[in-house]
Amino acid sequence: MRVTINDIAKAANVSPATVSRAIADSPRISKATKKKIFKIMEEMNYYPNVIARSLARKSTNIIGILVMGTTEKAFQHPFFPEILRGVASVAYKNKYKILISSVTNMDEQREIVDDLTQSGITDGILLLSSGVKDPSITYLKEIQFPFVVVGRPDNENEVNWVDNDNISVGYKMTQHLIEMGCTEIAFLGVDRKFIVTLDRLKGYKMALQDNNIALNEDLIVEGKFVDDTGYELMKNLMEKGIVPSGVIACDDLLAFGVIKYLNEKGLKVPDDVAVAGFNNVPLSSYFTPPLTSVDINAFSLGAKGFELLMACMKSEYKSFNRAIIPTQLIIRESTLKK
Partner DNA sequence: CTGAACTGAGCAAACGGTTGCACCGAAGGA
Partner DNA sequence: TCCTTCGGTGCAACCGTTTGCTCAGTTCAG
Residues that bind DNA (CB under 7 A): 1-2, 4-6, 13-18, 20-21, 23-24, 27-30, 32-33, 46-49, 52-53, 55-58
Measured from the CB atom, the residue of 20 and 136 that comes closer to DNA is 20
Site for a copy of itself contains 282 (CB under 8 A) = yes
**Chosen from a copy of itself, DNA, none, partner binding at 24 (C-beta under 5 to 8 Å by type):** DNA
**Chosen from DNA, a copy of itself, none, partner binding at 72 (C-beta under 5 to 8 Å by type):** a copy of itself
Question: Which of 74, 138, 60, 132 minimizes the C-alpha distance to 102?
Answer: 74
Bridge-based pairing state of the strands 220-222 and 274-276: unpaired
**Chosen from a copy of itself, DNA, none, partner binding at 248 (C-beta under 5 to 8 Å by type):** none
The window from 36-44, 113-121, 129-137, 166-174 that contacts a copy of itself (CB under 8 A) reads 113-121
Residue 317 CB neighbours (<10 A): 12
Site for a copy of itself contains 24 (CB under 8 A) = no
Measured from the CB atom, the residue of 13 and 89 that comes closer to a copy of itself is 89
Of the residues 26, 39, 71, 72, which one makes contact with a copy of itself according to CB under 8 A: 72
In angstroms, what is the minimal distance from the CB of 165 to a copy of itself?
24
CA 169 from centre of chain: 16
Rounded (5°) CA angle 90-81-168: 85
Of the residues 7, 34, 38, 48, which one makes contact with a copy of itself according to CB under 8 A: 48
Measured from the CB atom, the residue of 167 and 275 that comes closer to a copy of itself is 275
Torsion of CA 205, 207, 209, 210, to 10 degrees: 160
Measured from the CB atom, the residue of 10 and 141 that comes closer to DNA is 10
**Chosen from a copy of itself, DNA, none, partner binding at 97 (C-beta under 5 to 8 Å by type):** a copy of itself
Strand partners, 131: 194
Binding mask 234-253 toward a copy of itself (x if CB under 8 A, else -) reads: -------------------x
Residues 6+ apart with CB under 8 A from 93: none
Of the residues 27, 42, 107, 119, which one makes contact with a copy of itself according to CB under 8 A: 119
- In the sheet where 246-249 sits, what is the strand order? 220-222, 185-190, 246-249, 274-276
Q: For the chain, what's the residue count? A: 338
**Chosen from DNA, a copy of itself, none, partner binding at 85 (C-beta under 5 to 8 Å by type):** a copy of itself
In angstroms, what is the minimal distance from the CB of 50 to DNA?
8
Binding site for a copy of itself (CB under 8 A): 2, 47-52, 54-55, 60, 62, 72, 75-78, 80-82, 84-85, 88-89, 92, 97-102, 104, 114, 118-121, 228, 231, 253, 256-257, 259-260, 263, 281-283, 286-288
